Structure 1
């Protein structure tokens, strides 16, 4: 049989490609099965009407020493010609106040005190930054986490340090409690700022985000933020090339329809024929995986209900710029929630002014605007109204003039579901909830022998660094179990 591999990975997002590349690096032949005509899932780019637009992710973090993406690149020898951003982000408050999210922690604390007042800001941000450094160090040190075998527990105990326990206790406290501890819970301006920032990376509000994840989420601008000319597809393509260079295959327009076992091997029926492998890694949301992999249903793996998830409304714009931009990423707080979806902020990402590859016409730029849509199942959105409200906001804050827009199109939950195949158009990572402790999140081991999980519905699955980490953990557990 031609389509025989050591491992098959279902889904070509950053989690799936990470696990595939690391297994290929160990000498396994790997097939990555992708239902779309482009690899990358929610981290990719596509050409339309003379512009290159992003499919989802627009921020690139994780290239610093000790972070997951750097680990992956070091293991594979892949080099990314990334531009480091001098200013990771600006936040525009509802009253028009502009906040510079500086990378250097001292610069950021000074800015936070200027905007929100000096009370509590320094100890709050110094603590958050300290926690974030612990989380990134522990993430790669504890690649068996969360544990699901005796061997995992032994390795975790072996690698543990006394100081780890003082940090671990913060998984029992919420970010709302941390604000209260520092006397910041009555600072309405700061509370609104924190809630909207947490939505970007933790997908939830401070009452539901534990301190370990929340502090790390708030501090992602205090690490290197980068940009890739030509879009995120140029993060994906080197991984595809690496996997194929090691004898693997990235099969596009190849939707997995059923995963079953045949003795000691997995048999995967797809829209392009049957694949066989010793191991299988699901790199799609658990809801999707359960529909094609009956065995995991019998192992107690449950769906994630729509009411716990988010989709997004995205407006992609090609336009003629008339000003210099101080940053390329902006979060804009709104005077009133957007119609029908109650979103109180939008996130704007621009193409880099020195990147001449995002438009067929010299001098034009690309803008991507996204906002959250909670509980996407059956949600009907008034896309024309949302589009108008967003452009009104961009005009109000002098980001662009609507007469300078050359091309635009929008995407809601149905478009996201069609593009990614993800149930209900769910995007952005599984939100944090206080009732789910870090060790209770979905494990890389699915239950059936030789079956694993990665992507943004498994631990920890938040943004590119978290999704890459999930792929590292899946490859690590598979390797330790069987190789």
Structure 2
């Protein structure tokens, strides 16, 4: 039952995913009073952690980059002074290939190229990776310089033109080429082991394969292990909590169990209804998926205008996830692993599994001598591919990891698994989607939905808006939403 009190703010933000929290923190720094409304009992959305049986499991994301120079998370922490309990990883990841080789993804470019040449052969590996790394560095540098992109007004275009640099113009051709084109350019398509590796790595960060991912995003996605990677002590909830504390300590609010049911534009801004309360604000930022956001508005004209940006289930990915607790397992030197499954997992056909271990020195997620493990794999078209036998997939995953000697079956103390249906129940995200909108070749960067939702006072951030991929992407989406709101109204 709703209370009679109407709470008024400068900005109401829907959802407490990391894009929303980034935007809220930056707005608070500008002196605005904001309120973040979260339907769950804890903040962070897909970049958070939850407790079960006394252990701390990751809700979704398990890896973190973005603290290097010219990167969005670095910008957020520098702007606000927020501090996060981090451990820098010496080695970001290992990949277990179908031919039995283990490939180590080193952070230093020269070390990584030497490793790639050892596993895939020396032919054209060096020029391919040097090209990708150069491109990725320029993409990150440009991302914070060109916050008016993608353009959705003449002013955006003019402001960007005044800031444009020759290096930024050089990025344009890469938006028209796919990663498949890039492998063809370096005559690497015929190297099946390498092509399969690229495809499964792209799936982690771009949510699609080389035929669909453009070179601009694909090169950046492939190079995320070449930047500083971090582990957050206590789980990613401890990336989120300091941001929440910053928001609350500066006179604003983050409210839980407040699922937004409707947004009504008014002459003075927006009225936001939840099952409990009513809120009024001058501006609104939605950090939930575009699919969910549009359900909040009853304006048929707005819905029709934005429908072309909405992805149906068949273009999205869900996830099958598992959480394990291991006891008496040897400490992991490398925390993140990808395992190729060329024959595909039963029922869902996924051809790779991603595994993340808690840090051996982190005893806040599990007791000393115990390890928390997060496992995930993609489920295409989650609305259609309903999982009928969860135990069959669990067994296939455990058997594979045992055979690869990544975990020992006998060390498993506790296990749980979840399907896209469970993800939908927990997060309310349409179809239980993960990773946001995948990259598709027919959608150029400037054709993706930008931060302006209704071109009045409502904005969008998160993983279904440009750029919106992973924690670093949704952080950037929050930065861009604040930038456009500020230029439009403040």
Q: Is the TM-score greater than 0.5?
A: yes
Distance in 2 of aligned mates of 1:450 and 1:439: 21
Query: Is the 1:321–1:400 contact (alpha carbons within 8 Å) kept by the matching residues of 2?
Result: no
Match of 2:474 in 1: 467
Distance in 2 of aligned mates of 1:130 and 1:446: 33
TM-score (norm 2): 0.97
**Offset at residue 300 of structure 1 (A):** 3.2
**Offset at residue 51 of structure 1 (A):** 0.8
Distance in 2 of aligned mates of 1:471 and 1:262: 24
1:75 partnered with 2:53: no
1:349 partnered with 2:353: no
Matched position secondary structure for 1:12: coil
**Offset at residue 340 of structure 1 (A):** 1.2
Describe the superposition over 1:144-164 as per-residue Cα deviations: whole angstroms up to 9, x where unpaired.
110111221111111111222
Flag the 1:305–1:117 CA change in 2: closer, same or farther, 3 A.
Answer: same
State how 1:57-136 maps to structure 2 within 5 Å: 57-136=61-140
Equivalent of residue 388 in structure 1, options 377, 384, 395: 395
1:36 partnered with 2:30: no
Describe the superposition over 1:219-239 as per-residue Cα deviations: whole angstroms up to 9, x where unpaired.
000000000110000011011
State the number of aligned residues: 482
Distance in 2 of aligned mates of 1:65 and 1:298: 40
Alignment RMSD: 1.0
Distance in 2 of aligned mates of 1:96 and 1:328: 19
**Offset at residue 2 of structure 1 (A):** 4.8
Query: Is the 2:146–2:160 contact (alpha carbons within 8 Å) kept by the matching residues of 1?
Result: yes
1:247 partnered with 2:254: no
Distance in 2 of aligned mates of 1:276 and 1:28: 14
Distance in 2 of aligned mates of 1:261 and 1:462: 29
Match of 1:225 in 2: 229
Describe the superposition over 1:412-446 as per-residue Cα deviations: whole angstroms up to 9, x where unpaired.
11110011110110011210001000001111001
Distance in 1 of aligned mates of 2:420 and 2:306: 28
Distance in 2 of aligned mates of 1:415 and 1:378: 15
Describe the superposition over 1:67-105 as per-residue Cα deviations: whole angstroms up to 9, x where unpaired.
000000111110112100000000000122010100000
Query: Is the 1:253–1:271 contact (alpha carbons within 8 Å) kept by the matching residues of 2?
Result: no
Describe the superposition over 1:145-204 as per-residue Cα deviations: whole angstroms up to 9, x where unpaired.
101112211111111112222221110000001000001010000000000000000000
Equivalent of residue 152 in structure 2, options 148, 159, 164: 148
1:418 partnered with 2:425: yes
1:49 partnered with 2:53: yes
Query: Is the 1:349–1:367 contact (alpha carbons within 8 Å) kept by the matching residues of 2?
Result: yes
Distance in 1 of aligned mates of 2:345 and 2:12: 42
Match of 1:300 in 2: 306
TM-score (norm 1): 0.98
Distance in 1 of aligned mates of 2:412 and 2:54: 13
Distance in 1 of aligned mates of 2:24 and 2:257: 18
State how 1:177-256 maps to structure 2 within 5 Å: 177-256=181-260
Give unpaired runs (5+ residues) of structure 1. Answer: none
Give unpaired runs (5+ residues) of structure 2. Answer: none
Matched position secondary structure for 1:384: helix
**Offset at residue 362 of structure 1 (A):** 2.2
**Offset at residue 272 of structure 1 (A):** 2.0
